Structure 1
Amino acid sequence: MERKTNLIIAFLLLICFGLPRNLGAQKEDSIFYKSYTTTNMEPWKKTMEKMAEELEPGNYKQLFEVTLAWYGYIGYCLGNDKEREARQYLKSGWQFLEQLEEMPEAGAAPHALKSGFYGFEMALARYKAVIFGPKSLSALKEAAAIDSSNVHYLVEKGNQMYYTPSVFGGDKETALRHYEKAVKTMEAGGKYQQKHWFYLNTLVTLGHTFEAAGYLKQAREVYHKIQNLEPDFKWFNEEVWPDFVKKYGYE
């Protein structure tokens, strides 16, 4: 009887202190994914702010997840004419990112995100490109020097090559190679599985880049893959796919 009681206590302790962190992370990822696919971003905002309030000092993983959530939300704001809100969250996002870079666990990913944050700054004030452009490139070089196979480096390098005008070194073919490698890396295993917003967003970016580069067959294949993966993807179903069909037909 005593042994049974001890086992029950041990199990309850495991539930109270061992499981919530992993289950919490899964729950947060699920909320972000649903927000991304339904375009209802209010739960995303509330969740990321709660995560920030509950940050444990020195916990790199938690801080990274908060910073990534900020990154995603700022991108949403910029894509939906919410510049004022984007500025607000970019300011606090920089604070998280600066802490992240100083931690001993910091690898390539924080430097890659830093490049993305500079991209946000340029999107909010294009005249500052002469200041933030070189800083963004420098952050990418730092990320590449640490780990050029990191998915965040690959995505941000793809973004840099896609959005930089060709006269200044931009190249959609190079962007494609980086996006493709990022997707393959995520599909090979690790954190960003099929039900993660960052994976799905990278797939959309890959399809769009194939389309922009004139590889319509490959773009269509990626878009069909997205449809099979997430049939209820609101933004994709209402904008991305209809725009493609309008230009190039269903098949």
Structure 2
Amino acid sequence: MYLITKNIYALLIATATFTANYASADQTTIDKIELASQQNNVAQLTQIANTAKGYDAALVNYRLAIAHNIIGERDKAITLLDSAQMILTDDKLSEDETEVNALLAQVYGYRISIKPITGMYYGIKSSNALASASESDETNPRVHLIKGIIAYNTPNIFGGSKQQALKSLNTSINHYQNDDNLGYQWGQAEALVWRGLTHLALNDVQSALDDWQASLDIAPNYTWPQMLISNNQG
């Protein structure tokens, strides 16, 4: 009887550990990640990363990678992307397939921006992950956001296009109006920043300013659109 009870207890502990490591995405945590990222708060992102699990952990590691890369800590950024990639490609991860593949595509894409020499290798991986995400849900706003980011950042000679970026970002922003995938919602204010950058690249400064202001209407403390407005007004 004692042995049976002990075995059941061990099973419960193992189940609890598995649940902790692969818990479903939590919108409250994602909101905290996005707020800290928008304010470039590395300390807060690091604190969240210490307890985040599953998809949340992948997202916060991706956001931290951006923050560290901005301040010149490229090796740290790559290590964080390694962690995000490991989580998102783990067969034990039980999360929304579309969301996982969309974020994975962006993790691969950001690797290229840090180390362009890896473009051939990670470009294929990013494209495949994004294609899988699109096939499983063509209305997901983050899928189109990432399509837009990739089209914006890819040189024309390799298939990039500012016009294609604008098309994808328009689609993304439209789909954000009906985004009901609670637990994975992020990127709406960011999509407006990227569309503004695309307008700017296409020499439409007023539309760019309008998008950055719309981003601030959603996220008033977002430092990126604040800086872009300051740098491009009058």
Q: TM-score range by the shorter chain?
A: 0.7 to 0.9
Q: Which residue of 2 aligns with 1:79?
A: 70
Q: Distance in 1 between matches of 2:109 and 2:214?
A: 28
Unaligned runs of 5+ in 2: 1-24
Q: Is the 1:154–1:182 Cα contact (8 Å) retained in structure 2?
A: yes
Whole-angstrom CA distance in 2 between matches of 1:198 and 1:32: 11
Aligned to 1:218: 207
User: Separation in 1 of the partners of 2:57 and 2:100?
Assistant: 12
TM-score scaled by length of structure 2: 0.77
Normalised to the residue count of structure 1, the TM-score between the two structures is 0.73
Counterpart in the other structure of 2:112: 122
Q: Separation in 1 of the partners of 2:93 and 2:37?
A: 29
Q: Which blocks of at least 5 consecutive residues in structure 1 are unaligned?
A: 1-23, 53-62
Contact kept in structure 1, 2:105 and 2:130, CA below 8 Å: yes
Q: What's the CA shift string for 1:12-62, capped at 9, x where partnerless? A: xxxxxxxxxxxx94542443243233322211121122113xxxxxxxxxx
Give the conservation status (yes or no) of the 8 Å contact 2:213–2:225. Answer: no
| CA deviations over 1:61-95 (Å, ceiling 9, x no partner) | xx222222222222222233221211221121121
How far residue 166 of structure 1 moved from its aligned partner, in angstroms, is 1.3
Q: What are the within-5 Å matches in structure 2 for residues 114-193 of structure 1? A: 114-191=104-181
Quick one: distance in 1 between partners of 2:136 and 2:162? 24
Distance in 2, matches of 1:244 and 1:199, equals: 22
Structure 1 residues 88-113: Cα deviation after superposition (integer angstroms, max 9, x where no partner):
211211211112x6656542222222
Identity, % of aligned positions: 20
CA 192–217 in structure 1, closer or farther in 2 if over 3 Å, else same: farther
Query: Counterpart of 2:222 in structure 1: which amino acid?
Result: F
Call closer, same or farther: CA 1:217–1:149 in 2, change over 3 Å.
Answer: same
Paired with 2:154 and 2:39, the residues of 1 have a C-alpha distance of 30
Contact kept in structure 1, 2:112 and 2:118, CA below 8 Å: yes
3-state DSSP of counterpart to 2:51: helix
1:38 is aligned to 39
Residue 68 in 1 paired to residue 56 in 2? no
Aligned residue in 1 for 2:230 = 242
Structure 2 CA distance for partners of 1:92 and 1:105, relative to 1, 3 Å: closer
The 3 A distance-change label for structure 1 pair 129 and 228 is closer
Q: In 2, distance between residues paired with 1:228 and 1:135? A: 35
Residue among 185, 190, 193 paired with 1:201: 190
Q: Which has the larger radius of gyration?
A: 1
- Rounded Cα–Cα distance in structure 1 between residues aligned with 2:216 and 2:116: 35
Q: What CA distance in whole angstroms lies between the structure 1 residues aligned with 2:64 and 2:110?
A: 11
Question: CA-atom RMSD, angstroms?
Answer: 2.6
Q: How far, CA to CA, are the matches of 2:59 and 2:43 in structure 1?
A: 16
User: In structure 1, what is the Cα distance between the partners aligned to 2:155 and 2:75?
Assistant: 27
Is the CA contact (8 Å cut-off) linking 1:186 and 1:192 kept in structure 2?
Answer: no
Q: Label 1:124 to 1:233 Cα distance change in 2 as closer, same or farther (>3 A).
A: closer
Supply the distance in 2 between the matched residues of 1:139 and 1:211 (Cα, whole angstroms). 29
**3-state DSSP of counterpart to 2:160:** coil
Whichever structure has more helix as a proportion of its residues is 1
1:19 counterpart residue number: none
**Separation in 1 of the partners of 2:108 and 2:219?**
31
Aligned length: 209
